[in-house]
């Protein structure tokens, strides 16, 4: 069977049941990601014989190329019954019109730009420009708990808390309660713990989906593997912030994945780390990245 058709027949769809005996949360876009990835790959690679046979390069008989396609699913947010929440407070100041807004939420920015995103969410909800929004996120005495910067949750969960707090503050402002203030704790749908006997649970409340196609060159004399090009398709929900951010997130993830698969070798023996620095651990450099990376996002309605 054609490898792509095999994936299409077995891929998750709306209403599919997980191994935990629970249906997937709504918004299953795995097939849409795969189809778009195949479409983009056919434009770039032509005929897609994924893994069927190597293509011998005419000028160098020891180099062969092949194409691979894979699909992915990734949870968003805390899982398996762990409590999930984010709290935000928005304050509005001014006279006849809103002149200044303060957003308080304990959202740690570790390079992903979440505080810029939260500023944009608040500005749009309030109908003002982002430069009118002040963020207070780094003082635990001033900012309510928003949870950890982990589990792919910050934009989704904290963003929702900021949005709802901004709308609550705006309602108070329109009721002429000024300065206006709104505080909201957002709690996503609850998950449940894993039952080790029945395997039953509701593990996650949301997922992201992706599909990737890669063109790989293998040196049959040395065994060296070189990834020539990658097409990476992701369902991101509603893309927030600029194209440079989501492109950067996808390309950065590709770099990490390539390193994990091809160069990184974390070795431990009898509790001692044998690869303690980057010269022995071998993180990929820019020279190890593919010649071509094509990030694609889907934004289902």
The residue out of 124, 153, 186 marking a domain boundary is: 186
Assigned token pair, 136: 């207070």
What integer pLDDT is reported at residue 112 of this predicted model? 83
Indicate if 179 and 209 belong to the same structural domain: no
In a domain, 225, yes or no: yes
Assigned token pair, 93: 């100041």
Query: Which residues, 6+ apart, have CB-to-CB distance to 107 below 8 Å?
Result: 86, 114, 115, 118, 137, 143, 146, 149, 154, 158
The answer to whether 75 touches 151, Cβ cutoff 8 Å, is yes
What integer pLDDT is reported at residue 212 of this predicted model? 97
Q: Hey, which bits of 194-291 come out as E strands?
A: 207-219, 225-235, 268-269, 272-273
CATH number of the domain residue 62 falls in: 3.30.365.10
pLDDT tens by residue, the chain, 301 residues:
888 999 999 999 999 999 999 999 999 999 999 999 999 999 988 766 644 445 555 667 889 989 999 999 999 999 999 999 999 999 999 988 999 999 999 999 988 889 999 999 999 999 999 999 999 999 999 999 999 999 999 999 999 999 999 999 999 999 988 899 999 999 999 999 999 999 999 999 999 999 999 999 999 999 999 999 999 999 988 888 766 778 888 999 999 999 999 989 899 999 999 999 888 888 888 999 999 999 999 987 6
Tell me which residue of 213, 216, 179, 185 sits closest to 57, measured CA to CA.
216
Counting the structural domains of the chain, the total is 2
Specify burial of residue 64 (Cβ count, 10 A radius: 0-12, 13-18, 19+).
Answer: middle
In a domain, 192, yes or no: no
The angle subtended at Cα 282 by Cα 276 and Cα 288, nearest 5°, is 165
What integer pLDDT is reported at residue 300 of this predicted model? 79
Buried b (16+ CB within 10 A) or exposed e, 12-50: beeeeebebeeebbeebbbbbbbbbbbebbeeebeebeb
Which bin fits 15, alpha (ψ -120 to 50), beta or left (φ > 0)?
A: left
The residue out of 125, 154, 186 marking a domain boundary is: 186
Q: Structural domain of residue 231, as residue ranges?
A: 3-75+201-298
């Amino acid at each position: 069977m054609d490898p792509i058709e095999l994936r299409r027949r077995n891929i998750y769809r709306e209403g599919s049941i997980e191994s935990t005996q629970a249906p997937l949360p709504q918004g299953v876009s795995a097939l849409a990601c795969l189809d778009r990835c195949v479409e983009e790959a056919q434009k770039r690679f032509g005929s897609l014989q994924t893994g069927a046979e190597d293509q011998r390069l005419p000028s160098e008989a020891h180099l062969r190329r092949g194409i691979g396609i894979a699909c992915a699913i990734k949870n968003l947010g805390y899982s398996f019954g762990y409590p999930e929440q984010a709290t935000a407070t928005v304050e509005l100041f001014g006279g006849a019109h809103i002149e200044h807004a303060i957003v308080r939420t304990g959202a740690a920015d570790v390079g992903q730009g979440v505080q810029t995103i939260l500023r944009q969410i608040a500005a749009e909800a309030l109908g003002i420009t982002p430069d009118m929004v002040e963020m207070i996120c780094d003082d635990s005495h001033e900012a309510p708990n928003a949870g950890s910067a982990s589990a792919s949750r910050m934009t989704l969960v904290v963003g929702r808390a900021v949005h709802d707090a901004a709308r609550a503050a705006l309602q108070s402002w329109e009721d002429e309660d000024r300065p206006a203030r709104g505080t909201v704790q957002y709690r996503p749908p609850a998950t449940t713990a894993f039952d080790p006997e029945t395997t039953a649970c509701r593990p996650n409340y949301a997922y992201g989906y992706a599909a990737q196609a890669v063109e790989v060159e293998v040196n049959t004399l040395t065994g060296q593997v070189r990834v020539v090009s990658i097409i990476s398709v992701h369902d991101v929900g509603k893309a927030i912030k600029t194209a440079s951010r989501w492109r950067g997130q996808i390309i950065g993830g590709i770099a990490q994945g390539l390193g994990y698969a091809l160069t990184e070798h974390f070795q431990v023996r009898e509790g001692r780390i044998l690869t303690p620095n980057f010269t022995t651990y071998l993180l990929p450099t820019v020279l190890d990245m593919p010649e071509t990376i094509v990030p694609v996002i889907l934004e289902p309605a």
